[in-house]
Amino acid sequence: MQENIKMAADMNDYFNKKKSEGGGYKKSSNSSGGGGPTGPQMPNMDFNMGGGKAAVIYFIIAVVVMLILAKPFTIIEEGERGILSTNGKYQEQALLPGLHFIIPVIQKVYIVDTKVRIINYASHMESTSSSSGIVPKRAVTVLDKRGLPVSIELTVQYRLNAQFAAQTISNWGFSWEDKIINPVVRDVVRNVIGKYDAELLPMKRDSIATEIEEGLRTNIASLKNTPVILQSVQLRDIILPQKVKDQIERVQIAKQEVQKAEQEVQRAKQEALKKAAQAQGVAQQARIEAQGKADAITIQADAQAKANLLIAKSLTQPLLQLEQMKVQGKFNEALKVNNDAKIFLTPGGSTPNIWVDTKDIQKRTTAR
């Protein structure tokens, strides 16, 4: 700053000296006899300023230049926090988004990202920009209950706890992700997968995903000041050894064959039950029809018996004599036509009587 003030004073002395000598460029006059100009014609410039005023102006210019170069302020965007360091010591409270002034050289602000970040644990790593907030890492390879290698692909979403951002950076440093998230993920996955046989992992996928997420949340929440807020944990894939895959495929094929056989047995049982039901229905129908016919005959016989009983009760002696007289009258009428006929009366004089045509022995007629 002192050098800038001295420079401004020197420049002021220079312009004052030029003014006393005639100042700036001089305009050459041409005679009528000719003669070229001795130099370019320039308008006279007036540098007549007081020494104190010029010094102040140059001082202000020097201060502005110094402020621009030193940059005694910082701007923090949304989704970020500022960690203020004064002589190497971090301030306990992080700076919020906005404009903040600092003391150059003595103070410095470190910007940390508090937006949601993602770690992809995958077998095939894809290159991504660090500014995208997505960090690719190798799939977590662990051993199952029998010591077989298994690879787990995960996606972990998390963000820095803005409330304790300064304490987190002070305790864990700016590489806090590699010290907090990655080791905890690998340790939890190792403990969970180590409880199962590789063949059971696909069938236990949902419960395994739940166990991993709960384990991560418990471990991170147990850290001092909760440096990280876990958003979600997604189990994307379980990669098994090839021989385990082959064994699972054979088991699946065997199960499918058993299920197919069971379905055939059930289908056969249903068909047999259907036929039995149909046969039972036919037999039942036949029994019902036979019973109906028998009931009809019984009813008819009962009716006939009752009718005969009523008729028998109604046949009195006078009625029988009357009927005999009617029959006798019919025979008498017949004898008028055929004199050769003979009539035989049954004993007791009851009907029917017997009519015999003597002209034709072979021809007999029974009349009622």
The model's pTM is: 0.53
Cβ atoms of 125 and 135 within 8 Å: the answer is no
Q: Quick check: bond before 352 cis, omega within 30?
A: yes
Q: What is the pLDDT of residue 7?
A: 45
Contact call for residues 225 and 168 (beta carbons, < 8 A): yes
DSSP 123: S
Cα-based distances in Å from 245 to 18, 150, 206: 95, 11, 19
Q: What is the pLDDT of residue 206?
A: 93
**C-alpha–C-alpha distance, residues 199 and 248, integer Å:** 6
- Provide the pLDDT for residue 14: 52
CA distances, 144 to each of 23, 153, 251, 253 (Å): 93, 15, 19, 24
Architecture of domain 117-240: 2-Layer Sandwich (3.30)
CB atoms within 10 A of CB 324: 17
Q: Tell me which residue has tokens 């940390």.
A: 112
Q: Is 287 helix (H, G, I), strand (E, B) or coil?
A: helix
User: What pLDDT was estimated at residue 298?
Assistant: 86
Q: Tell me the pLDDT of the chain (368 aa) as tens digits.
A: 444 444 444 545 554 554 455 444 444 334 334 444 444 444 444 444 556 778 888 888 887 777 677 678 888 989 889 999 888 888 888 899 999 888 888 888 999 989 999 999 998 877 665 567 788 999 999 999 988 899 999 999 999 999 899 999 988 988 898 899 999 999 999 999 999 998 889 889 999 999 999 999 999 989 988 899 999 999 999 998 888 878 777 777 888 888 888 888 888 888 888 888 888 888 888 888 888 888 888 888 888 888 877 777 776 777 667 777 777 777 777 777 766 666 655 555 555 555 555 555 555 444 44
Do 238 and 152 contact (CB within 8 A), yes or no?
yes
DSSP for 124-166 reads S-----GGGTEEEEE-EEEE-TTS-EEEEEEEEEEEE-GGGHH
Give CA–CA dist 110/102, Å, rounded: 12
Interstrand relation of 117-122 and 134-138 (parallel, antiparallel or unpaired): parallel
